[in-house]
A and B are shown apart, each in its own frame.
Chain A
Amino acid sequence: MLARFARTALLAAALAAGAPLHAEPESRPWPDILARAKGQTVYWNAWGGDERTNAFIAWAGDEVKRRYGITIQQVKLKDTAEAVTRVVAEKSAGRNANGSVDLIWINGPNFLAMKSQGLLYGPITQSLSNYRYVDTEHKRSNLIDFTVPIDGMAVPWRLAQFVYIYDSARHKLAEMPTSAPALLAFARQHPGRVTHPTVRNFLGATFLKQALYDLLPDPSVLQQPATDANFGPVTAPLWAWYDQLRPTLWRAGREFPETGPAERQLMNDGAIDIHMAFDPAEAAVSIANQLLPPGARTFVMAKGTIGNTSFVAIPYNAAHKEAALVVADFLLEPATQARAQDPAWGGNLTVLDLAKVPAGQRTLFAPKAGLPGLPTNEELGAPLLEPHPSWMTRITAEWEKRYSR
């Protein structure tokens, strides 16, 4: 047993030395890739907690099967980190080909971890024909993920923006807080009726980042990496605010819903007054599925809310790289993006620049009218950029340190 560990150690040492081994760009002609992809099965590791996304992925599977003979098998994750762990385990066992993960829905610290550890295959965006439609000027988050340059190692898939939801049957829009101090006042007025997902969850961490944006006089410091020197002073107002907020939270701030959908269920039962989500269409779609009361409506902070891009990436040892590339390209197709933007299929904002899309297909993106709870673009305002990932990791760690008993 130890001899095996030793052998793996040598291999790992060789791999760890120097730059990632697999940084050669994908250069095969597209017809070759299509031909090889036919008949392959793509194991797409994606967070499985959202039914609409699962349904969308199932639909995508039907489409690529019909068109290209590719099967998509969604591996439902509780947390994207599970897939990262798996690739690491495979690397540690020396499995550099025929990996079990073909495609990962990824961004943020997970992406940073995989990119810096040389766990990704690519660059790949230059080989995808639909990549030309992607908006790389106005939606900067398509190129820079949490201040980390993508460098073509991942393909943008959908845009998200952090929004808040309230029940108009219980409150009026004017009562809802649009800044962090106002949120504190609201929570004091309605003790036990405000909460956020646990900060270990992406959504919960973003809640804190959002509050930090709101509390900082100059948020540009967040675009730089956090350092030991500046972390304390910069986040001091956040913790001061949170210390006052915590006793007024649901369960006195001792327990938090594990995920966004868990928090949504609390709102559905009327236990809390404010829900948050990364999806502007969350209220509309949830009402349609009876997962939120019919009076649910969306609002954002006065200074704007954080938006980011979700990507798909291919691990360096994926068994079915060609099929994964075809699927990534399919996701960028205007028709696919328009469908994803349809609230019935998730209501996710597109990553494409409508100006680059052929005129005939632009009409696909016209907003559907008549859905209660769907905010307009004006209501959403301009999205704020995500801070550097180091802020999120440090904030999460600090929160755990301060508030776990």
Chain B
Amino acid sequence: MNTRSPSFTKIGGLWACAPWITIAVFLLPVAAGLVGTVLPAFGYLPAIGGEHLSIEPWRALMDQPGVASSVRLSVQTGLLATAFSLALAAAFCELLQDHASYRRLSAMVSPLLATPHVALAIGLAFIIAPSGWLVRLASPALTGWDRPPAGLVTVRDPEGLAMVLGLVLKEVPYLILMTTAALSQVPHAALRRVGATLGYRPATTWFKLVFPQVYAQLRLPVYAVLAFSMSTVEVGLILGPGNPPPLALLASRWFADYDLQRYFPAAAAATLQGLLVLAALLAWRAGEVCVGSVGRAWCERGVRAGAIEPAARTAAGLAALALMLGLIALVGMAFWSFAQSWRFPAVLPGQWTLQTWALQLPRMTGTVMTTVGLALASALAAVLLTIACLEAETRRGHAPTHRVLWLVYMPLLVPQIAFLYGFQVVLVKLGLDGSSLAVAWAHLVFVLPYAFLSLADPWRALDPRYARTAAALGETPWRVLWRVRMPMLLKPVLLAFAIGCAVSVGQYLPTLFAGAGRVATLTTEAVTLSSGADPRIMGVYSFLQAGIPLLVYGAALALPALLYRRRRGMA
């Protein structure tokens, strides 16, 4: 008589290390970076004379004129963008179930997901500016304006609404994707049927029965959206007010100041930003609880239909509008790249030319190669690490706890500005700063969570009996992975890779800090140019910024279809 642990749980050393290596790769920079930013925030940075801890930096921060407005702006834009995106995405998914027209619209979601924030922001700026497309469409015919109106305030409006819109354009597709993924875990079809048989109208059923269950899985993506919206620098630079700017912009401005003593209040501002995000997340959590109890009371009242119906329809319509606006933004920038001269109030360029492309492309090859190289490297590393972790998990035989998911989301919940400066100091000490390796690592920190999240569910959903059958046929675990699991998961793996590439292309602050400004990607160049350079050149950059991730996406979808064109079971 003997007891033996089941053989499957013994896993080789390398596989056992995989989760730890992964955690080290992306959590160490965050942790080290936070320390490296918090210490100067309290006055400790010996290299420029900060030898003692003090709260002087905080006093300098508070003395800065307009800092209260900066804080208010950060919180305001963050909360508004998140709440709005969530409401729109939820309503859109509701109508998605019932209406074919919405299903067609949802095809637009993928291209928008692949486009970096910066490209969308630049495109949106052109659409809504006083000299932009919307005004041009109406002028001079409807408005009689032959010059952009002096009083119209849209881009860089003081309340940050243009910035909110820019964020919404990117977050709505993202949340639609997350909601759709979450839906597959909830028996929504059955729930809708039950609701209908009890007499509830569709939108009411959705928000009373389905959405509360879906939200449990949406929570972390929503938190990530909130953290990003509050602390984004790149969207703020393009669409946000400059005077005073949101807090993260203030911090990044000070980090670049020639007055070196500004580092201390910069670090304080960055730390404050981190604390603000934490406070906002807690407040949102508290809000969830409140909404939960209000919602339960609402459910119990038994109202079959109400204001929720038209509200949901409006919100879904707005979501569709947001999706279309995003695509129009990209089209606008594409037009600019082919324009010779396009002055107000012309709706279309007066003359078209290929000259901008001809002049810029040769000069951009280095930047494009860098962008593509970084994307491929970080996405590949992320996917390999993810597969290693998931395989280790499969071999160990137990499903991960909820805590693991929080760990994976951590880099997305900490504002980038709150730890990237500290990370740069670490890189300088290691002699790595400015190298492509450092930038790829910095990208990996953010690519890994997205790759993991997109691959984990399909991986775990694969019928485990395939692996058992293969093992019973004599295949070692390595061969099971290589010959059975990977081919069957080719499409999710390639999609995770494509998502990783898209995330890497869109990174701004990590490239700037880790690359010490020596590594130029399409996104960093686009943000530099967005401060008023030739819009034709901006068009070329936006086009490429959006085009490269889209190409990878297309390949990720086409390759499995091609390889398995004669295998219906793989469709």
Contacts and interface: CB of A to CB of B under 8 A. Distances in A.
Interface of A: 1, 4-6, 8-9, 12-13, 16, 43, 45, 48-49, 51, 54, 58, 75-86, 88-93, 95, 100, 109-110, 113, 117, 191-193, 198, 200, 250-251, 254-266, 268-271, 289-291, 293, 393, 400-405
Given A93-B47, A198-B242, A255-B158, A293 B343 contact: yes
Given A48-B528, A404-B69, 14 more contacts: A4-B429, A8-B47, A9-B47, A54-B363, A78-B527, A78-B531, A85-B255, A92-B428, A254-B241, A255-B243, A258-B242, A261-B531, A264-B532, A270-B131
Interface in B75-90: none
B370 to A, nearest CB: 12
Given A113-B258, A262-B531, A290-B341, A271 B150 contact: yes
A113 B531 contact: no
Nearest to A192: B150
Contacts of B130: 271
Top-5 shortest CB links A-B: A262-B532, A92-B47, A192-B150, A9-B46, A404-B66
Interface in B509-545: 516-518, 520, 525, 527-529, 531-535, 537
Contacts of A255: 153, 156, 158, 241-243
A109 B433 CA distance: 26
Contacts, number: 172
Nearest to A404: B66
Contacts of A48: 525, 528
30 contacts: A6-B46, A12-B47, A54-B363, A77-B517, A81-B258, A83-B517, A85-B256, A85-B260, A86-B516, A88-B48, A88-B260, A92-B48, A92-B425, A93-B429, A100-B433, A100-B518, A109-B258, A198-B243, A254-B241, A255-B243, A258-B531, A260-B532, A268-B343, A269-B131, A269-B147, A269-B148, A270-B148, A271-B344, A402-B65, A405-B66
A321 B520 CA distance: 23
B12 to A, nearest CB: 34
B29 to A, nearest CB: 13
Nearest to B434: A100
A290 B340 contact: yes
Interface string B90-117: 0000000000000000000000000000
Contacts of A290: 340-341
Contacts of B151: 192
Given A4-B429, A85-B255, A404-B243, A259 B131 contact: no
Contacts of B66: 400, 404-405
Contacts of B537: 51
Nearest to A403: B243
A265 B535 contact: yes
B241 A271 contact: no
A5 B65 contact: no
B299 interface: no
A80 B531 contact: no
Contacts of B243: 198, 254-256, 403-405
B56 interface: no
B148 A193 contact: no
Contacts of B535: 265
A261 B517 CA distance: 21
B265 to A, nearest CB: 13
Q: Which of B47, B434, B537 has the most CB of A within 10 A?
A: B47
Contacts of B341: 290
